Structure 1
């Protein structure tokens, strides 16, 4: 606060005339110093003569400074040229004094105005040194204040409990960043109005735009351990609405060696604002199930597949076989793992649609566990390409599942989607057919345990709304949302993959595991929060454009189909979907026929066939809506 005042004062009042009079004062001081030095560092001189000579010295100093203009430079930007101007001004002063003294000696105009040449020379040297040095000292002083001022972060700490006090101490100890804690905020009425180390605790209701402006608050740091998501959401919404940054202190478990440092404070991320508690997996059973095993991951270069691969690399797998048809992303994953010093893996460019090539991989590496993440997942694209959706999502899954069964794989885990539930699009229906096929082979398998995991959207996955919104914000907007009421379930990629690994250790085979996704979230609200978290305002800086539902898209996603319910597992975030019993022999025959004849059918015929296999599939906002085909061949009990 003191530094603020000093700098504001200097900027307001440090005009050229202040510099001018300071220079005159230094000339006056230098004249005293010259006498003092001349008389052997003593006061054995006539003080009256000195006092009589001062007015003349100052007069000629005024003439010199006005002539040269050395006082006009901006002191805080002093450079070599400014120092040279000072040198010229002091030299002119010395010359004028020498001429005046010489003139007075010859004409004796003023008796008391006689200055020894030795004093004039000493005065010239001292004046030059003092004037130049004073400018650079003032510049350095200003630079130090400016640097400190620019780095000052006026902050409020939300939470006056133990975590808040620890955060306060960490901010005060931080040397790299200059934090100035304006106050604490707390909901506890017993704390409001009191002080912690002379810093006041405020009622949240008092934190208004006027308060923020008055104290120049830059950011609010939320320091509450085990804060509930809905409360974090409310706090964040309030402060981003006031136009200030919101940061958060990480959970105690993430403190470095149990200690908290200011550099651990981070920005609030969109993942924090999903109104759901994060899922933390720490299960030794997973380690036991994959240690010293050969594990194959299909679709390893995708968002889910790559994260499964990363998490598997943390265990002592004998070998991780990564296969994907996308060459560049697979190469990126390969290099990432190599950079981490991981060597127990092999990356192979291969396509799950190519049974011959995949079978060669099975023969060579003999995997014991398979995580099948390869899939086409973009709803609008697959709505235009049913052929590709079936070829990858259904027949690709069939290839991997059949080979897993033939080669006696211990466990096969398929990654499905909530869009397979009561599907309204080709992509969801193709994933549901894949689920049905896994159910069929699971019933017939004697050794391989087949497992399906079903969950919603993952934050940050390729093609998801979060990366799209980030790109749109970088480009200046607008953000595009298909419908103002559209909602989706979300979890982070690491959370989803941790649960996939966990579910891969459960059950006897044939189960569909549903993950607890928390509450569904409005995409429109996510868009607004992302704008605010980017330091911008909606709609002033960036607007949100509603474009209308895309082909195959529905407003609300579901994790359970009509008539399905769940049973609990030992993990509170993983449940088993209890589904309709289906005549597996009939379904398998249908899918086998599809495998043999699908390349002879056009898109409309393929969608008709999909609707016979998935009776709950009703096209939405699509060219296939008119196809109202209901199966008679499939026996659903």
Structure 2
């Protein structure tokens, strides 16, 4: 089909598409009322070789053919069909309808006393009617679905399966992109035509880019493994094409997305690691039929924990969150999920700060909470570094108070969401998280009924403050993309995978356990940035390519930031029932010693003594090695003001001394 069309035809088709359904049905009926008698007249003319059809008085046959055809077509649903979405089943309906109407007409023609038409006309009429009825409808379908490609991107669809065919149809309807071909790994499909598009080998993609002006590749591979999708992305990467993908099958089947709702490549595809299927027994052991509470329920990890917990059928799920907006958002989402999936979990949204022990204890006792997932924490390294006191309060004292409340309320399980930055920390955030682990290890020594355990993992993709959404935003703005150091590496895991493993690890805890998740191979952040630039259809601007689109700027490591993170303190680690969950055997402190440090820390914080607080962190977390001076903004400002005030006092004293002393020194008598 041509790629352009006269404007008046385009306007006519647009008006036609906007008509109400009843008007469209009436137009189809009117077209048949006019067209079917003309088809019979054409068949008679061809058979008789003249436009004069004898004998006279046979005009009733036109009424009969029209009546039988409309009756059969109505019965077959041809006037109810949505023309824009006609498919293979419509061809069968047209064939059946036309054939049935011709058979009825044949019976009438044979039984009528005075033969109106030769029987030999009927096969010709049948062929003409098929062409007219089917052709008229598919012609209108083609007009409605015409690829108005003016100003739209030319794209190829990678994947000629069911999702690819649906995507092609959806794109044609939306006009957002102009699909010109399929790419597929299946050699048996190469050279064939599907839905009007030719199928090519992946090796043909560079030629399509060069010769056909392809600007983007749309991945229609919702059932492929992440590893395979990563291989495909790597093969496309050198072409600097925009790469987008259809939603996952789960979202499509649940009605949360349509196939044509293409989106940016999932960050998990950049890692290329397929999640290990969960162990059902481990997954719901602490959840099914229990009352569960998640602190920090509106955060990246907390909200994903809630999504997965709710599907495991607890009797109640308590959302505990200090941010009113975050609590409102996750409550609405979960209630929509309950309705869409027919679940009956009682969701309770509670505002509160885990630092308030009495509030937490009251909630745990009143609702009879059995399992707590403590995800509430400050996690952004530079911000915690600049707000030492609040970081210690939220990450250490909130954990302590919530855990003490769980102990007193006789909860069964308390799970702390920890971080790889707790291992050999160089920053306050990491040190506070390791301190929180030590607090729980100490509390376990006092507990006979509550199991305390910790789950430690690295960065999660697409979480608030993570590099992937930041890089995506910077690339869309045209750069620069900021990377702290060309050699910095990090462990990454998707949020759903991390949450799933947390739930399974919690069921294996015996008390005081530190579980470490297998994060796979670390990722070089600079390489991740370059890949994202390429997969968004742009090129990196550097010395080798000064005309590139987006520059990558190295800003230097931030205060207390490390080049690489670790997951274990020492090497004492054992396996568990799950292949991706390890149990770390790490040192702990007796509770009386932890209690003393907490009391001293509380006194230091009440005096806003950041220096003393950091000394106590270093005393408790032996591996904590700060890399510079205290960065707390208020502490630094206070010190600067004190220094300025001291300088002013000294200067004033000096001036007074000069005024009170004669120019030639003291005069004797």
Same fold per superposition (TM over 0.5): yes
Partner of residue 510 from structure 1, selected from 504, 508, 512: 512
The within-5 A match list for 1:618-633 is: 618-623=625-630
- Cα distance in 1, alignment partners of residues 249 and 298 from structure 2: 33
CA contact under 8 A between 1:3 and 1:149: conserved in structure 2? no
Note the C-alpha offset of 1:397.
Answer: 0.7
* Distance change in 2, residues 1:484/1:446 (3 Å): same
Q: In the alignment, what sits opposite 1:542?
A: 550
Q: In the alignment, what sits opposite 1:332?
A: 329
- Cα distance in 2, alignment partners of residues 402 and 262 from structure 1: 49
Q: In the alignment, what sits opposite 1:603?
A: 610
Note the C-alpha offset of 1:275.
Answer: 3.3
CA contact under 8 A between 2:424 and 2:624: conserved in structure 1? yes
CA contact under 8 A between 2:293 and 2:319: conserved in structure 1? yes
CA contact under 8 A between 2:3 and 2:147: conserved in structure 1? no
- Cα distance in 2, alignment partners of residues 475 and 247 from structure 1: 18
Q: In the alignment, what sits opposite 1:489?
A: 491
Q: In the alignment, what sits opposite 1:136?
A: none
Note the C-alpha offset of 1:409.
Answer: 0.6
Q: Secondary structure at the match of 1:452?
A: strand
Partner of residue 568 from structure 2, selected from 557, 560, 576: 560
* Distance change in 2, residues 1:504/1:182 (3 Å): same
- Cα distance in 2, alignment partners of residues 345 and 194 from structure 1: 52
Q: In the alignment, what sits opposite 2:347?
A: 345
Note the C-alpha offset of 1:585.
Answer: 4.4
Normalized against structure 2, the TM-score is what? 0.64
Q: Secondary structure at the match of 1:444?
A: coil
Q: Deviations over 1:169-218 (max 9, x none)?
A: 556766636875535454x9xx499644598776655543x541313334
- Cα distance in 2, alignment partners of residues 408 and 552 from structure 1: 39
Q: Deviations over 1:429-485 (max 9, x none)?
A: 010011011111113210011110101111222222223223333444322211111
Partner of residue 481 from structure 2, selected from 467, 479, 482: 479
Partner of residue 551 from structure 1, selected from 555, 559, 565: 559
- Cα distance in 1, alignment partners of residues 5 and 324 from structure 2: 61
Q: Deviations over 1:98-126 (max 9, x none)?
A: xxxxxxxxxxxxxxxxxxxxxxxxxxxxx
* Distance change in 2, residues 1:261/1:592 (3 Å): closer
CA contact under 8 A between 1:294 and 1:317: conserved in structure 2? yes
Q: In the alignment, what sits opposite 2:304?
A: 307
Partner of residue 581 from structure 2, selected from 570, 574, 596: 574
Q: Secondary structure at the match of 2:550?
A: coil
- Cα distance in 2, alignment partners of residues 192 and 156 from structure 1: 18
Root mean square deviation of aligned Cα: 3.7
CA contact under 8 A between 1:452 and 1:511: conserved in structure 2? yes
* Distance change in 2, residues 1:167/1:339 (3 Å): closer
Partner of residue 468 from structure 1, selected from 467, 470, 482: 470
* Distance change in 2, residues 1:177/1:152 (3 Å): farther
- Cα distance in 2, alignment partners of residues 506 and 356 from structure 1: 29
CA contact under 8 A between 1:607 and 1:624: conserved in structure 2? no
Q: Secondary structure at the match of 1:531?
A: helix
Note the C-alpha offset of 1:372.
Answer: 0.7
- Cα distance in 1, alignment partners of residues 258 and 439 from structure 2: 52
Note the C-alpha offset of 1:358.
Answer: 2.3
- Cα distance in 2, alignment partners of residues 577 and 495 from structure 1: 20
CA contact under 8 A between 1:270 and 1:530: conserved in structure 2? no
CA contact under 8 A between 2:442 and 2:588: conserved in structure 1? no
- Cα distance in 2, alignment partners of residues 251 and 348 from structure 1: 32
* Distance change in 2, residues 1:315/1:201 (3 Å): closer
Note the C-alpha offset of 1:402.
Answer: 1.1
CA contact under 8 A between 2:153 and 2:216: conserved in structure 1? yes
CA contact under 8 A between 2:267 and 2:462: conserved in structure 1? no
- Cα distance in 2, alignment partners of residues 390 and 255 from structure 1: 43
The within-5 A match list for 1:77-92 is: none
CA contact under 8 A between 1:168 and 1:181: conserved in structure 2? no
Note the C-alpha offset of 1:254.
Answer: 7.5
Q: Secondary structure at the match of 1:467?
A: helix
Q: Structure 1 stretch 536-545 or stretch 245-254: which is displaced more?
A: 245-254
- Cα distance in 1, alignment partners of residues 269 and 145 from structure 2: 37
* Distance change in 2, residues 1:404/1:596 (3 Å): farther
Q: In the alignment, what sits opposite 2:624?
A: 617
Q: In the alignment, what sits opposite 1:367?
A: 369
* Distance change in 2, residues 1:336/1:588 (3 Å): same
Q: In the alignment, what sits opposite 1:423?
A: 425
Note the C-alpha offset of 1:581.
Answer: 5.5
| Residues paired across the two proteins, number | 483
* Distance change in 2, residues 1:247/1:552 (3 Å): same
Q: In the alignment, what sits opposite 1:286?
A: 283
Note the C-alpha offset of 1:385.
Answer: 2.2
Note the C-alpha offset of 1:166.
Answer: 4.7
Q: Deviations over 1:130-162 (max 9, x none)?
A: xxxxxxxxxx99997975444987654557xxx
- Cα distance in 2, alignment partners of residues 205 and 599 from structure 1: 67
Q: In the alignment, what sits opposite 2:131?
A: none
Normalized against structure 1, the TM-score is what? 0.67
Q: Secondary structure at the match of 1:503?
A: helix
Q: Structure 1 stretch 505-514 or stretch 225-234: which is displaced more?
A: 225-234
* Distance change in 2, residues 1:322/1:192 (3 Å): closer
Q: Deviations over 1:52-106 (max 9, x none)?
A: xxxxxxxxxxxxxxxxxxxxxxxxxxxxxxxxxxxxxxxxxxxxxxxxxxxxxxx
Q: In the alignment, what sits opposite 1:319?
A: 316
Unaligned segments of structure 2, at least 5 residues: 10-139, 542-547, 633-669
- Cα distance in 1, alignment partners of residues 145 and 227 from structure 2: 42
- Cα distance in 2, alignment partners of residues 462 and 193 from structure 1: 43
Q: In the alignment, what sits opposite 1:244?
A: 241
- Cα distance in 1, alignment partners of residues 416 and 455 from structure 2: 6
- Cα distance in 2, alignment partners of residues 229 and 146 from structure 1: 34
Q: Secondary structure at the match of 2:360?
A: helix
* Distance change in 2, residues 1:171/1:323 (3 Å): closer
